[in-house]
Amino acid sequence: MRQYNKLPKQALVILGIALVLIISTVLWSSSRITQDVTEEVQSTLRDVGTQNALILRQEIRENFNLLYSLADEIGQAGNAENITAITGQLQSFVITYEFKRIGFVSPEGEVVTTDGYIQDLSSREFFIEGMQGLPGISNTLQDRIGTPEPINVFSIPVYDTDNNILGVLFATFRNQHFQEILSVQSFNNQGFSCLVNQDGEIISCSSNAPSSLLEASSVYRYIEDADSRNDRPLRDLSKVLSGSSPASGSFYGDGQKYYYHAVALDNLRNDRQWFVLTIVPDQVLSTRSTPVLLQVRLLILLIILIAAGGTLAYVHSIQIQRRQLFRLAYVDPLTGGDNFACFKEKMMRHNGDRGFYVALDLQDFKIINNTCGVAKGDETLIEVWKIIQSNIHLGEFSAHINADRFILFLRDKDCRTLGPRLQCLCQDLCNLSTKLNIPRVFPLCGVYETTDHREVEQNYGKAVQAKYLVKGKRTAHYAFYDELDIQQLSEDRLMEDAFDDALKNGEFQLWYQPKVDPVKGNILGAEALIRWKRPDGTMLSPGKFIPLFEKNGNITTLDEYVFRTVCEQQQKWLQNGATLYPISVNISRVSLYYSNVVDKYKEILGSFRLDPKYVPLEITESATIDNSDISSLIEQFHEAGFTLLLDDFGSGYSSLSSLNVMHFDTIKLDKSLIDYIGDENGEKLLLHITQLLQSFGMTITAEGVETSAQVEFLKNLHCDDIQGYFFSKPLPLMEFEAFARKHTGL
């Protein structure tokens, strides 16, 4: 009974302390929230300003790159007649880059423009500076030619081959484009941006900028007129606009405070500098903080009420709950070993100890669950845990996180001595395939070295990032974090996130590189090559996204997309009565690891009712090296009627003897072999290789042919067809069709 009476007293003490603490923190929480919201707004302000500056820098850089490219072409023309002819061909660039006009001004000040205006511009500042060898962008001008509107003039000098100035090339840029870039909504459209020069003159403003700012024409005049308290802010802004580093500040206006962030654009010249000013009113803070403060206060009141009712029950049951939670919190229910929470506790007690975090999982583990059942998958994970335990030493730790993910902390001398241990561990895991009669197990490990164990999740995350270096390659089991390119990882993540929408929206385009008869010059076929055109018009190189998609598995979907698209295009040509040529399609090494790959491609081909000879498949030489089933796959493709080409032959993995086992129909000689032409020993090597391959009954395609000397040599070798820039670069669909009509030989 005495013990029972003690319970309410404990509850009252705890409740009293809780109430005091809660009430005392209300004011502190309110001020802290306001401070955090202020910091958040300022951080967002910096991000928005930086993003606007990046977009403007890109716009300006692209425009100047175009002008420099055109200037080089005009400089090569040499005389006025040729220059006039070239400038007459610039209308397509005006449309593409959305200029109002492009023009060339002769040294006498006479101008030739794409829209046909001819006048004397010898007094214009951009012309005078251009004739002095100076590029530049003008402040905002009012265009009096054609439709009156605000403009900015991009200009650069044009040099002839002797480095003499031939004149000035300029492009008239609609100021409206700057306004559109600056008009990206921010802070619920309460924030606005403007582009100013180093003197504070306004170049352009976002569409929601105050009318008083637009009328002032100078940001200094606008701030000066806004409030009498702005003497100090004006001096601060003047310092900002006289430098080149990003900076933030504030000023007063309309009865409230405004915050701004200034970011300098790239210097055109030392005496010219533009800045992006992103401005947000103080009322954004109250808009954001007031609802939060109200919710916090309501939440605190609710906590007080709940605490009053729950404290008694909590005190009564806390000991029992602790014992139960301790049993459940640190033991993994599947393996019976440590879970991640237990691992973190252990690591925190060993903070300062040097060692290696290892993130381990099994590539394509879901295949085991799908083909053998969940029970077999669980049995596999238990065996993985046993192998991990047998490979760790005293003072090292491990845990099962979830699914097929495990974490280890290993102590070793350095990366070189740790590598063999990881290789041994991975080999033991690979042996599970035979022991458990399951699909091939391929473990992957990412390794991060540290002595700081206060943030275990972050350390594990870095180890996981390292694992992406080997994910999907099947050439190595482990990689270290210090091998990572963090910027590339960020770019890869953006491409991964955009893949599904890009595929759905038709951003992936097929280009065709013709294969030509070296003797007659007739087209014999083509190779389909993938290109990624983003919504903003930029083209991503296959070298950027193909290796990434090979690692994350998206390449199989992309392979099937290319194959299906080629089949669809061949069907259209057939229905239109056009001559059909074989269009070869690349199939990646990753796709070849799937046992149903042949059936999948047969199914796609069958849906279009095409003869497989019109869609031959190209397999890279490297894909045949690490795939033990490649010979069987080749036979299955042949049985399905497909023609097979061995791509990149001679790129570094060649084994002539293996060709007796892998029966390819065509061998594509890699550019590295073609480049031997002109070297006596290299030509002998090419001669013997082609004679051997032809004796096997294989046809020969030469890749990367760029010179007439190479073409003549390959003719003498009786090479069947040629692919390379000598005849044609990869072409988009319409240009390829035009090339085919021109070189049909019919």
Can you spell out the DSSP letters for 160-216? -TTS-EEEEEEEEEEHHHHHHHHT---TTTT-EEEEEETT-BEEEE-TTS-HHHHHH
Q: How far apart are CA 5 and CA 1, in angstroms?
A: 6
Mean of pLDDT over the chain: 85
Q: How far apart are CA 734 and CA 327, in angstroms?
A: 69
- Are 75 and 166 in contact by the 8 Å Cβ rule? The answer is yes
pTM of the model: 0.45
Location of structure tokens 């009786």: 718
Q: How far apart are CA 343 and CA 397, in angstroms?
A: 7
**Is 229 a residue whose pLDDT tops 80?**
yes
**Parallel, antiparallel, or unpaired: how do β-strands 644-649 and 202-205 relate?**
unpaired
> 632 vs 597, 640, 643, 647, 662, CA distance in Å?
12, 13, 15, 18, 9
pLDDT of residue 380: 95
**Is 746 a residue whose pLDDT tops 50?**
no
Q: 699 - beta bridge partners?
A: 666
**Is 629 a residue whose pLDDT tops 80?**
no
Q: How far apart are CA 731 and CA 568, in angstroms?
A: 18
Confidence of residue 7 (pLDDT cuts 50, 70, 90): very low
> What's the CATH class of domain 178-287?
alpha beta
- Are 186 and 279 in contact by the 8 Å Cβ rule? The answer is no
pLDDT of residue 390: 94
Q: How far apart are CA 58 and CA 181, in angstroms?
A: 11
Residues with Cβ within 8 Å of 282's Cβ and at least 6 positions away in sequence, in order, are 256, 257, 258, 259
The answer to which of 23-37, 159-173, 500-514 has the lowest mean pLDDT is: 23-37
Q: What would the pLDDT profile of 380-431 be if each residue is shown by its tens digit?
A: 999 999 999 999 999 999 999 998 999 999 999 888 899 999 999 999 999 9
Q: 142 - beta bridge partners?
A: 150
**Is 4 a residue whose pLDDT tops 60?**
no
Choice between 109 and 581, residue whose per-residue pLDDT is larger:
581
Confidence of residue 573 (pLDDT cuts 50, 70, 90): very high
pLDDT of residue 625: 66
Domain boundaries, the chain: 2-38+293-329, 78-171, 178-287, 340-484, 490-742
**For helices 2-77 and 80-87, angle between their N-to-C axes, nearest 10 degrees:** 140
- Are 654 and 625 in contact by the 8 Å Cβ rule? The answer is no
Percent of the chain with pLDDT strictly greater than 70: 88
Query: What is the arithmetic mean of pLDDT over 440-468?
Result: 91
Query: What is the arithmetic mean of pLDDT over 519-544?
Result: 92
**Parallel, antiparallel, or unpaired: how do β-strands 583-586 and 523-533 relate?**
parallel
**Is 653 a residue whose pLDDT tops 60?**
no
Most confident stretch, 190-199, 534-543, 599-608: 599-608
- One-character DSSP codes across 407-447: EEEE--S-HHHHHHHHHHHHHHHHTHHHHHT-SPPEEEEEE
Fold of 78-171: Beta-Lactamase (3.30.450)
Residues with Cβ within 8 Å of 688's Cβ and at least 6 positions away in sequence, in order, are none
Residues with Cβ within 8 Å of 487's Cβ and at least 6 positions away in sequence, in order, are none
CA neighbor of 511 nearest in space, from 536, 535, 532 = 532
pLDDT of residue 9: 60
**Is 295 a residue whose pLDDT tops 60?**
yes
Q: How big is the CA angle at 585 (ends 613 and 619), to the nearest 5 degrees?
A: 100
Residues with Cβ within 8 Å of 504's Cβ and at least 6 positions away in sequence, in order, are none
pLDDT of residue 3: 38
Q: Residues, the chain, total?
A: 746
**Parallel, antiparallel, or unpaired: how do β-strands 149-159 and 136-137 relate?**
antiparallel
CA 432 to chain centre: 36
CA neighbor of 637 nearest in space, from 696, 592, 698 = 592
> What's the CATH class of domain 490-742?
alpha beta
Q: What would the pLDDT profile of 79-103 be if each residue is shown by its tens digit?
A: 656 666 666 678 888 888 889 889 8
Q: Are 78-171 and 178-287 in the same CATH fold?
A: yes
Confidence of residue 6 (pLDDT cuts 50, 70, 90): very low
Choice between 175 and 20, residue whose per-residue pLDDT is larger:
175
CA neighbor of 45 nearest in space, from 281, 290, 289 = 281
Choose which CATH entry (3.30.450.20, 3.30.70.20, 2.60.40.680, 3.30.70.270) describes domain 340-484. Answer: 3.30.70.270
pLDDT of residue 184: 78
pLDDT of residue 40: 79
